[in-house]
Amino acid sequence: MKVVHLAASALCLAGLSLAWNVDQSVLSEGRYDSGLFMPMEDLNALLESTFTTLEHPAFPKHSVRIKKTEFCDETVNAYTGYIDVEARHLFFYFFESRSEPEKDDVVFWTNGGPGGSSSLGLFMELGPCRVVSADSTRFHPESWNSKANVFFIDQPVGVGFSYASHGEYVSTTEEAAKDIAAFVHVFFEHFKKFQGNPFHMAGESYGGRYIPIFAAEVYDQNRRLVEEGLQPINLSSIMIGNGKTDFMSMYPAYYEVVCTPVTRDPILDIAACVRMKQAVPRCIEWAQKGCVDTFDMFSCQAAISFCKTEIMGPFEALGLNPYDISGKCEGDEADTLCYPITKDIAHYLDRPDVRKLIGVDPSVTQNFTGVNMTVNAAFIAAMDGYHPTFHYVSNLLDRGIKALIYVGKNDWICNHVGNERWTLDLEWSGGEGFRNSPKREWLVGGKVAGETRSFGGLTFATVIGAGHMVPYDKPAEALQLVNRWFAGEEL
């Protein structure tokens, strides 16, 4: 989940090519295995009462504070902690698999926004428990940790329980990627039982921008680590749900979803649809010139303002849920994100006993918010969301990293029409084969769950009856989707 789309469409339209710095002098001296580094190896050795700090001499600016935490799913080992990058501190949850932790895949999950806390993904969507009231959680049988070890990370700094010692924030995905790559390598260097397991980087919404860049950073860092004799991460795939990966493909798609029967019967009146249709070419021309061909912030802002008014405005006036057009927005979107359960999650995470249990740093005194609007505003001011990331996807595919793009069909803000369009237009070695592959139905329990197209390492899938948050609306179908993906099976 994500952010209020009213803030420059922060969800779909609204991290670091500067790689986290491996100390080259340390690597060249071989100090990482000269007796100075002793990996912790066993997560069971962690304490519940206090944090254990993990470090690595090759990564002197990064460390991980981690503790065992019995909550949410008592059938598995759970851990919480912070990724410490000098004065920046990113909060995370880690749940081992309910099946075979030592053998099962490892999944990194981030929510979108920008500024959205992954606590929403944990407690509302794919985590081992769901918050059902302000004071209670319930075991979630369709959690993605059924057959995978799963991280939920509050990033970038300032999101959720993450914090900065001196108030620092990042404002671009490329900056955020540095911290994520650092954490991944420090963690796997310590807990080597997971090191060779397939690693998947997953996210939804603005995660369509986050995940390709994060994965590219891990991949590029792997190459440097191999050159220096360190063990690389077994990066296997990226997984993007209802993502903002190519903002340009969404503008014509906004018209199609509400004015044609591509999803359901048209929901806007004819006059409004005609005006939208006439505005689409101008929107595309301006945005292409100002935001894509030669990025000029002033020209891009002007183009996006026009597109929002003419293409997005008519739908927003309806009061429907932009994340699920089958119903009205429940509550004030700025307060509930159209889902009142988000308020219960916030109340639950504001309980002092819960914060103490999971180890929230005492310096984090503010109330929990599902979306940090300060972070959101910084990314919007930098126009971060108007740099397409599909080129990262094509480069990852050409290097053997698979990509699963799945979309709930009831979503409007990051809809299936726009997401399918960029996958079909994607330039990569398997592009022609993907475009020539027919769509077919995929089934769960003998019933049609959606449609899918697949070729080489790329798979696109829709999920019928789901909106922006597929695991929330269709948990059984979402679990089948990812379990088949982990197993390398056809949907």
For residue 75 the two structure tokens come to: 């059938």
Closest to 418 measured CA to CA, from 409, 430, 429, 431 = 409
Beta pairing partners, 131 = 137
For residue 275 the two structure tokens come to: 């005006």
Quote the Cα angle for 47-48-53, to 5°: 50
User: How many Cβ atoms from other residues are within 10 Å of residue 440's Cβ?
Assistant: 12
CA–CA separation, 37 and 24 (whole Å): 16
Nearest-Å Rg of the Cα atoms of the chain is 22
Q: Which of 105, 154, 324, 411 is catalytic?
A: 411
Clarify whether 384 is annotated catalytic.
Answer: no
Closest to 194 measured CA to CA, from 204, 186, 202 = 186
- CB-based contact 439:446 (threshold 8 Å): no
How does strand 199-204 pair with strand 235-241? parallel
Clarify whether 62 is annotated catalytic.
Answer: no
Q: Which of 162, 249, 468, 473 is catalytic?
A: 468
Clarify whether 454 is annotated catalytic.
Answer: no
Residue whose entry in the numeric block shows the structure tokens 């710095």: 21
Q: Which of 118, 205, 394, 454 is catalytic?
A: 205
User: How many Cβ atoms from other residues are within 10 Å of residue 161's Cβ?
Assistant: 23
CA–CA separation, 491 and 478 (whole Å): 11
- Which residue numbers are catalytic? 205, 411, 468
